[in-house]
Amino acid sequence: MIVRLFNQLCKAAVVALAVAAAPGIQAQTQPFPSRPIVLVVPFAAGGPTDVVARMLAVPMAKSLGQTVVVENTVGAGGTIASQRVVKATPDGHMVFLHHMGMSTAPALYRKLGFDPLKDFEFIGQVVDVPMTMLARKDFPANNLNELIAYLRVNKEKVTLANAGLGAVSHLCGMLFMSTIGIDLTTVPYKGTAPAMTDLLGGQVDLLCDQTTQTVPLIRDGRVKVYGVTTLKRLASLPNVPTLDEQGMKGFEVKVWHGLYAPRGTPREVTDKINLALRDALADPGIRQRMAELSSDIPSADKITPQGLKSHLEAEIAKWGPVIQKAGIYAD
């Protein structure tokens, strides 16, 4: 009786082990791609990162022969999405588009729960996007000098939107406030898409945001613009001065992006995704759209796993000490 029970328990254990092992075995043997691929975006739908992801999804799907579905996993400056991706089955059916927030998160978040350099496979750099300093359309100041003068007197009642700690809108806003030496009340959102909705609606006053969202709104005169964050003016907005030329010497923020997969995704799978990424970035339609948004497609050597990894390493090394020195923590 006891022996039979023991045998049954052993059998059950063997079955349980086989079931538990099955996904791993499947992940290695299943051809890739064998179902739609989820492209995770760490900010709200309709915003700058989402715009890039949706632009890539169509040509990437074409070269991979499977649908690419964009999913927005928002919150905590993009780190909730990172946590989701590191836990995903590493078989290539989940990939992750993130920007330079990947390099600031380790310094900003003391309880991050993942290591950007160790917990991902690298696919390649994607696009470099400038930013623009904006206000709601009816904000009193009409240029940068007037803005600074206005803020000196009215700082208590002015709000500055961002997409959470570690978002580039947050970093740009911090740089702006430290350059002018004025602290404003910041209002965090789950992406600059909802922040922009509130800027257009007049619920917040200021926002520093990427051209992937802002160029059409600036051209249509739906927001007020004070400057671009590159050292040269942008071809898409030739009449908008740089912050640098208006006296904010060296004010430069350009937002790089990378495509990642969970650690352990087989190399032959990341190679296929890399090829699809390179195909997408070579697509004339995408190149034209990116140019219209003054966003630069990186050189071929950067659209590689090593190109992304080295850049992330350099950026972590650059931002870590700056953030530590400023003593800013998100948690």
What are the residues binding ligand ASP (CB under 6 A)?
A: 43-44, 47-50, 99, 101, 163, 167-169, 191-193, 210
Closest by CA position to 257, among listed 146, 128, 147, 148 = 128
Given a contact cutoff of 8 angstroms between Cβ atoms, the answer to whether 287 and 296 are in contact is no
- Least Å from the CB of residue 107 to ligand ASP: 16
- Least Å from the CB of residue 170 to ligand ASP: 6
* Dist CA 61 CA 252 (whole Å): 34
Given a contact cutoff of 8 angstroms between Cβ atoms, the answer to whether 120 and 274 are in contact is no
> Max CA-CA distance within the chain?
89
- Least Å from the CB of residue 313 to ligand ASP: 21
Which region holds residue 221: left if phi is over 0, alpha if psi is between -120 and 50, else beta? Answer: left
Nearer to ligand ASP by Cβ, of 245 and 252: the residue is: 252
- Least Å from the CB of residue 49 to ligand ASP: 3
Nearer to ligand ASP by Cβ, of 99 and 136: the residue is: 99
- Least Å from the CB of residue 263 to ligand ASP: 24
* Dist CA 151 CA 161 (whole Å): 15
Q: Is the dihedral of CA 228, 191, 87, 103 positive or negative?
A: positive
Residue 219 β-bridge partners: none
* Dist CA 123 CA 273 (whole Å): 7
Q: Identify the DSSP state of 299.
A: P
Given a contact cutoff of 8 angstroms between Cβ atoms, the answer to whether 240 and 223 are in contact is no
- Least Å from the CB of residue 163 to ligand ASP: 3
Q: How many residues does the chain have?
A: 331
- Residue 232: partners with Cβ closer than 8 Å, 6 or more residues away: 242
- Least Å from the CB of residue 269 to ligand ASP: 26
Helix (H) or strand (E) holding 227, with range, is strand 223-228
